[in-house]
Chains A and B, each alone.
Chain A
Amino acid sequence: MSFERLVAPWRDDLFRYVFWLCRDPDLADDVVQETMFRAFKSLDKLEDESAVKPWLLTIARREHARVYERKRFETRDIDELTPAETAFVATESNSDVDDMRAAIFRLDDDYREPLVLQVLMGFSTEEIARMMGLRQGAVLTRLHRARKKLMEQIKSELDLIG
């Protein structure tokens, strides 16, 4: 199978995953570009084509970490959204989704990543544990806490929906 056909189904989700890791669309562009380049160069190492999704994500995760190793980003209060994040959360016509997006932005990275891997990418907790180098129990704890924090932040919207 050609490289293009192999990776095409995962293109958008790969960008979403990286974006939720870094919360910066331009940086996500860079990481995805680098990911695709490295994936293309090492395509012969992909023994099982059905494993292309975790393979791409593993490369992307490593590239994202390398970017952060190389660049010294300013630390900032996660309760304050950047202007770009603020603009991004307001793209939906559904304000509840916007609020949830803002709440996800405010999650600690440690909580956000397993949530994205589970909900967006469809990985099992066992697979997430393997990808993140964690015990499965730690992943379960983070997933539970992530949802608890999100529900606390959008409590009023959930009450109104119900």
Chain B
Amino acid sequence: MNCETLRERLAQDPARVDEEFDRHAESCAACQAYRQRLLRAEALIQDALRFDVNSIGRAEEDVPAGSAARAGWVTWTSGLAAGLLVGVTLWGFLSGGANLSPEELADAVVDHWHHEPDSWLETSSPVSAALLAEVLAGEAELDQAALQTVSYAETCWVAGEWIPHLVVQGEAGPYMVLLMPGRVLQSPVPLSLPEEGLSGSIVPAGAGSIAVLGAGQSSEIDRLENTLAAAVDWTI
């Protein structure tokens, strides 16, 4: 092999022992010098990549304090905090946003609609059963037979909690549905996104609540909310 080929091979992994290069370098000062430069660069690469994670500037998490809403999640996050994340905002999602006012909750729900534009499709293609089951696992059971197509399912961080975000197809197009286990409301909270022509509400549903936002008439939204309330069985 010539110098160029050997150097190329060395640069693929300078930490690897390469006896052929070693033998060659004994009689090639240029390749010896190349290796020294490469090793110096490698040391700098390692130092540059392995930065102190606590020294890096990050925006403060905007996670409101409040009582925990989901026992399983909070048990894990509390343990995680104790073991891993003391004082680090990186993992600052320990408590839910149960103390949000109804207006703040409505704002968070409406704001979330903007975060997932790719979910907003009018389609007859359902999300896979496996993905839907994964998203609902530990949160709720859903009688899908009562609904039209569920076209999207994702676990999302909304108002201080990880919750199932679904898109359910209705007569007037898609509806964003957020299932909020443990979020007990005293009365429905209206939702409005006039610039997109969307409206809906967050309705109490037993030990949780359900948000529905879409372009349909209020009667269709009411019907969907009632259907969902009957179809959802919280598992917390």
Partner-B contacts on A (CB < 8 A) = 2-5, 7-8, 11-12, 15-16, 19-20, 25-26, 29, 32-34, 36-38, 40-42, 69-70, 84, 87-88, 91-92, 94, 96-97, 99-101, 104, 115-116, 118-120, 125, 140, 143-144, 147-148, 150-151, 154, 157-158, 161-162
Contacts and interface: CB of A to CB of B under 8 A. Distances in A.
Contacts of A87: 57
B56 interface: yes
A80 to B, nearest CB: 19
Interface of B: 8, 11-14, 33, 36-38, 40-42, 44-53, 55-59, 61, 76, 79-80, 82-85, 89-91, 93, 115-118, 134, 137-138, 155, 157, 162
A100 B37 contact: no
- Interface of A, secondary structure class, is helix
Given A5-B83, A26-B59, A91-B56, A41 B48 contact: no
Nearest to B82: A4
Contacts of A16: 49-51, 53
B154 to A, nearest CB: 9
B12 A143 contact: yes
Nearest to B46: A119
Contacts of A41: 134, 137-138, 155
A20 B116 CA distance: 24
A89 to B, nearest CB: 8
A25 B57 contact: yes
Specify which of B37, B52, B56, B89 lies most central, judged by the most chain A CB atoms within 10 Å of its CB: B56
A121 to B, nearest CB: 9
A4 B84 CA distance: 7
A104 B83 contact: no
Given A70-B115, A91-B51, A125 B12 contact: yes
Contacts of B50: 16, 120
Contacts of B44: 96-97, 99-100, 154, 157
26 contacts: A4-B79, A4-B84, A15-B53, A16-B50, A25-B56, A29-B61, A29-B89, A34-B157, A36-B80, A37-B162, A41-B134, A69-B118, A84-B57, A91-B52, A92-B47, A96-B44, A97-B44, A99-B44, A115-B45, A120-B46, A120-B49, A147-B42, A147-B45, A150-B45, A151-B38, A151-B41
A158 B41 contact: yes
A70 B116 contact: yes
B113 to A, nearest CB: 13
A100 B41 CA distance: 8
B11 A143 contact: yes
Contacts of B57: 25, 84, 87-88
